[in-house]
Chains A and B, each alone.
Chain A
Amino acid sequence: MIEKQETIMIKIDELVAKTTEMKNKGCRLVQIGCTKTGEGIYEINYTFDIQYNFYNYRIIVENSNSIPSIQSLYSGAFIYENEISELYDIEVTGMLVDFKGKLYKVSVENPFK
């Protein structure tokens, strides 16, 4: 096995606290990725790394839910949050950098629901 990987399920309202914990630990934000798992149901992975140690937190989002932005902790998160907001139509609240649907100029119909 290349590396040990564990995914920890958290609730949406725990996201900012967990991200703060990661930030205080000195972790790097590796990626945020969204996957559709059912009709109107999405899972979002928040992946962190410190000295090649892998941490992954997962939240489940339903269409009606919004998720909080983590840009105040990791400013680079704007690229992921705008992507999720535009391509999956998930509301991200409190985004410091919000392209308001203009990051992606895709010729096909989106959000990809």
Chain B
Amino acid sequence: MAKRTVIPFGPQHPVLPEPIHLDLVLEDEKVVQAIPSIGFIHRGLEKLVEVRDYKQYTYVVERVCGICSYMHGMGYCQAIEEIMKVDVPKRALFIRTIGAEFSRIHSHLLWLGLLADAFGFESLFMHTWKVREKILDLMEEATGGRVIFSACLVGGVRKDWDAELLKKAIELLKEIEPETKELASVFINDVTVRHRLVGVGVLTKEEAYTLGAVGPVLRASGVSEDMRKLGYAAYAELDFEPIVETAGDSYARCVVRINEIFQSMDLIKQAIAKIPEGEVSVPVKGNPEGEFFSRLEQPRGEVIYYVKANGTKFLDRCRVRTPTFTNVPPLVKMLEGCDLADVPVLVLTIDPCISCTER
């Protein structure tokens, strides 16, 4: 029997943009067990619900994460709107959809860049983030922010996207689509990239399902589940099917995210073509009473906003179940049996957002 060694991985590690800790139990170069621990950047944002009223809290939830902040705000607002039966204007729902899909594109491009960086392909990392910057510029023009957008509010959105801005969005897509295709061909076809990803960290369909995987991790293992199919925001009026791969390895997770970038581009075009005229918000009076589990498809997968309200302006509870949190059990499974050298890449393939996970 080989000698067992325990290597602490993280919370600070060059490949980790955010802190998670794994105790890696090794037999020679093989990982036989991975024991996670979290909590290093716990900020107590859920606790803040006791001292911020339900409208102010929209701006707190946006700060759960710097990548999917748009969809955090959206998920929370949806929960309150469902409880209070607010009739959100249709134009606002389309704007939310456009903003959410741009967020998905920039999040996936961010991830592709980090992945390239993880396996030492520096120039690919830089080119990927160069494309991402253009989306952040547009988001800044649309919302005033590059990270925290404060775009969604209970009852709609804070700012309209006028005709000129929508035209700019279409022009941006025309510009970045060929650039992204070029980048995608490297991720999909390059021999060295494939060598690092194909057959690495296989998660079967059954494992993905019982371990609670969500998002691209789940879909890369052959499960066709995407919360956008619930039809929230304007998704019920858009034509799309979940992107699914069946191999369940790191390469499949990469391919799902690449194809989702192009799917998001298509969804934005559809939404812009169908966006109706009208108001972008309605005034919301009174306080919420009741509860709702708001489910959304973030770039990393299904997020749950559980909101419980008591009829006062302060909520009883706002629990956020983030996609990374539920993707930790699949990660632990993937790491079992892998080579030590593959650990950084495997950790990245769940697209971990520890900021979300810690709240």
Contact = CB atoms under 8 A, between A and B. Distances in A.
B38 A105 contact: yes
A47 B35 CA distance: 25
A102 interface: yes
B240 interface: no
Interface residues of A, number: 31
Interface string A1-42: 111010100000000000000000000111101010100000
B328 A79 contact: yes
A57 interface: no
Contacts, number: 89
Contacts of B44: 108
Contacts of B295: 2-3, 30, 54
A37 B316 CA distance: 8
Contact of A28 (B225, B229, B230, B328): B225
Nearest to B207: A75
A7 B290 CA distance: 12
Chain B contact surface mostly: mixed
Nearest to A3: B230
Interface stretch (B109-117, B135-143, B302-310): B302-310
Interface in B231-261: 231-232
Given A3-B295, A45-B306, A105-B38, A52 B325 contact: no
A77 interface: yes
B36 A103 contact: yes
Given A2-B231, A52-B229, A76 B326 contact: yes
Interface residues of B, number: 40
A104 B37 CA distance: 6
- Majority SS at the chain A contact face: mixed
Most buried by A among B210, B213, B232, B319: B210
A88 interface: no
Contact of A35 (B319, B321, B328): B319
B329 interface: yes
B316 A79 contact: no
B236 to A, nearest CB: 9
Contacts of A79: 212, 325-326, 328-329
A33 B321 contact: yes
B78 interface: yes
A76 B37 contact: no
B9 interface: no
Nearest to A112: B47
Nearest to B317: A35
Given A76-B330, A79-B329, A105-B21, A28 B212 contact: yes
B82 interface: yes
Interface of A: 1-3, 5, 7, 28-31, 33, 35, 37, 45, 47, 52, 54, 56, 74-79, 99, 102-108
Given A28-B212, A45-B306, A76-B211, 16 more contacts: A1-B82, A2-B82, A2-B232, A2-B294, A3-B230, A5-B293, A28-B225, A35-B306, A35-B308, A74-B210, A74-B212, A75-B329, A77-B212, A79-B328, A102-B37, A103-B38
